[in-house]
Amino acid sequence: MLKTGMIIGERYEVVGRIGTGGMADVYKAKDHKLNRFVAVKVLKAEFREDTTFINKFRTEAQSAAGLTHPNIVNVFDVGDDEGIYYIVMELIEGITLKEYISKKGKLSVKEATSIAIQVSMGLEEAHKHGIVHRDVKPQNIIISTDGKVKVADFGIARATSSNTISSNAMGSVHYSSPEQVRGGYSNEKSDIYSLGITLYEMVTGRVPFEGDTTVSIAIKHLQEEMVPPSEYAPELPFSLEQIIFKCTQKSIDRRYANMEEVIADLKHSLIDPDGDFVTLAPLTNEGKTQVLSDADLGEIKQSIAQGRPAAESYSRVQKAEEEDEELYDEDYDDEDEEDSKRGINRSLEKAMTIGALIIGAVILIVLIVLIGRAAGIINIGGGESSTQQEEETNTDSDMVEVPDLVGKTEDEATEIVRELGIGLKYSGEEESEQPQGTISSQEIEPGTQVELYTTINYKLSKGTQQLSIPDVVGRTESDAHQILVDMGFNVTTSKEYSYEVEAGSVISTSPEAGTQAKSGDTVNLVISRGEDQGDSVEVPDVIGMTEEEARRELAKFSNVVTEYQPNAEAAEGEVYAQSLEAYSWTSPDTTITITVNKTAEVSATPAPTDTAVQTPVTDTSGTWKCTQKLDTPTGYQGGAVRLELVQTVNGASMATTVVDGKAIEFPYQLDIVGSPGVTEGTLYLSEMVGDSYVELGHYPITFEKVE
């Protein structure tokens, strides 16, 4: 075990251990060259003299280092330092999906589907590079604090050109595919099976196969059908259950062909939850469950007593019974003569069957061609063939034209898009000249060609009616703020001393109460600081109060900043820390920060629920910029600031630091280049207070294409 403060590779300072695995420990470390925290995976001491393990460790790094994707934990560096073999990876602050499921019991359908889509996207990228994860499970899926879903630990991933996976490299047996349990060949479809089991657990809160031993669980993967997830989750949509069934077929041929198909059906299920669009291949003898004899079970149990892996013993028992035995027998050469003869006979039967099918298919094709030529349907030797035309039609059928929905009611729009195979998502209200309650705008322009199952964000019209600013004088700041926000106003605040109005309550509004204004206009609340107490005031103790109580108690201070951080020892919504010491004396113009516990709503971190249905980028050409002006934020003290841009790109949140550690003058002219084709983003502004940044606000910004 490495000690805190130890330097690895002349740049990584160990901060502490954060986890351990079968062959490596994981440490949090400070990268002094790039001034950031990273995760460092270090091979355990007992394996450092074993060249086999060292080679596996290096292979893991080389495989993962070639992957760069928002839904995969990135690998930054690999090396060894005086016999210490290490891999440097992206440090993800968050919790594993396993912990997340444990906290919530089970996940909502929308949330589980979104997570599954993001995991599928990460695995799809790995599969494109010839890498199979082989250990997909909730423990290896991380939900970060900013809502990203990332697949971690390609610890037993190997290039798909390798034909076998040894039993000591198997992942957790609860999620292992039948072919992994057998100890045989595994490919991308093994990851699809494990993803299906993971999705099953997300929506039900339990795994489909349980047992007292790993062997008993492994056997269930081979010879038992799982209980339909809808029995544990009656609200589960039909389409999502069918997706789970297709992912977890025991026969490889009956599963999805690739992750792209899985993603398409998952997205389709969001807009058509009760649709019957998931197609399952017919069940053949190869796809039926395996029934083990007493002799087979005895062989497996005996292998455990002798220290042999269960998967190995099962493969030995099954060699003479599997029709695809050549695929699984490379590591086992002790088959007796009688079993060999039986295998040869079955191979001959199989060859004859295939030959008969081929002959029949040829005859059928000839008949089709003759009939087609006679009817003029098939044109051979002249013009464009019907096959080419069919291919073009199929290609075109994957794209649909976005209709004009402005002015339509929601019911009318829903009927229109349903026939086209695309979805709708409500994204708020806005003032518009369109009749109230009808669609006032849509995110994707009419006439745009988009893929099937694309979701269109739309807004409803609130009409053009004028609103009267309510009288909130004398109300608390939180009450007044909520009233105005609910009416559709933007709200700002300022503070003044008052001998007449209680500290923390509203003195006045600007514009005044009764003034006619439009939804979206800004109303400023003037909040009382109470009586002027001079240049020095006593800091109250607000620990244990709610946020609203604490802000009222601290109303005499010109700027009160709230931070939200989880704390297991504090009640939900309770203040558990303050930046200024209680009962000390300071200037009332000093900024004070309170920290509030927020842990109960784990999904609000922010939860990855809407990423699955983000509108796909339709124009990724050119440069996309934001050139808006940023006004002076409330509470800004003139210190160094940090600006961070967050955009949703292909279903994942992407963060970019725009300014870091510099003092800027307001109003500040933005000149930010965003992700191509992404029209919106959120800009987070923080100021350095003491030794850390304090967020002053975040602002929605828009991007336009620059020619």
Q: Which two tokens stand for residue 351?
A: 């060859």
Active centre residues (catalytic): 135
**φ/ψ of residue 229, rounded to 5:** -60, -25
Q: How far is CA 343 from CA 288, 333, 335, 678, in A?
A: 19, 14, 10, 58
| Farthest-apart Cα atoms in the chain, separation | 103
* Residue written as token pair 């303050």: 578
For residue 282, the 8-state DSSP code is P
Task: Give the H or E element holding residue 119.
Answer: helix 109-128
**Three-class DSSP category at 412:** helix
> Distance between CA 161 and CA 643 in Å, rounded?
45
Q: Which residue has the tokens 């800027």?
A: 664
Q: Which residues pair with 150 in a beta bridge?
A: 142
Measured CA to CA in angstroms, residue 478 lies from 68, 82, 338, 498 at distances of 44, 59, 83, 18
Closest among 580, 553, 696 to 635, alpha carbons compared: 696
Paired sense of beta strands 84-90 and 36-43, if any: antiparallel
> Which tokens hold the place of 600?
């109960």
d(CA 364, CA 361): 5
* Residue 452, phi-psi category: left (phi > 0), alpha (psi -120 to 50), beta (remainder): beta
200 neighbors 227 (Cβ within 8 angstroms): no
Q: Which two tokens stand for residue 491?
A: 């709200």
Nearest to 279 by CA among 252, 244, 242: 242
